[in-house]
Amino acid sequence: MPLNLELPERVDHADSAAVLADLAGQLSSFGKTEGATLDLSGLRTFDSSALSVLLGLTRVAHNQSLVLTWSGWPPKLLDLVEAYGLRPALLAHTD
């Protein structure tokens, strides 16, 4: 059964480490699964630290041989992905 995760409403420099630790822990504790989907649609307030959270989750999923799929990209977050040249790393598995 796939794992469904949600990004919180706020991810910025002040809370990005805690958000990454929480979501990475959920991924790690779930064990083997068909994959995981991270819903980004609830994200309202963020800075470029949100990208580090997404990259960190990508690494965790890769290390566990999980496919991590993204859904609900906020347009401004997509703009940051493009500005930082992270399209290949983050948009490969987007619903």
Q: Between the CA atoms of 30, 80, 52 and 70, what dihedral angle is there, to the nearest 10 degrees?
A: 10
Which percentage of the chain shows pLDDT scores above 90?
A: 67
In terms of pTM, does the model score above 0.85?
yes
For residues 78 and 51, give the distance between their C-alpha atoms in angstroms, rounded to a whole number: 10
Task: Return the pLDDT at 33.
Answer: 64
Take residue 56 and report the two structure tokens written for it: 């960190």
Orientation of helix 75-83 relative to helix 49-63, angle to 10°: 80
- In angstroms, the CA 5 to CA 24 distance is 10
Q: For residue range 29-76, what is the model confidence (pLDDT) as tens digits? A: 876 667 889 999 999 999 999 999 999 999 998 888 888 899 999 999
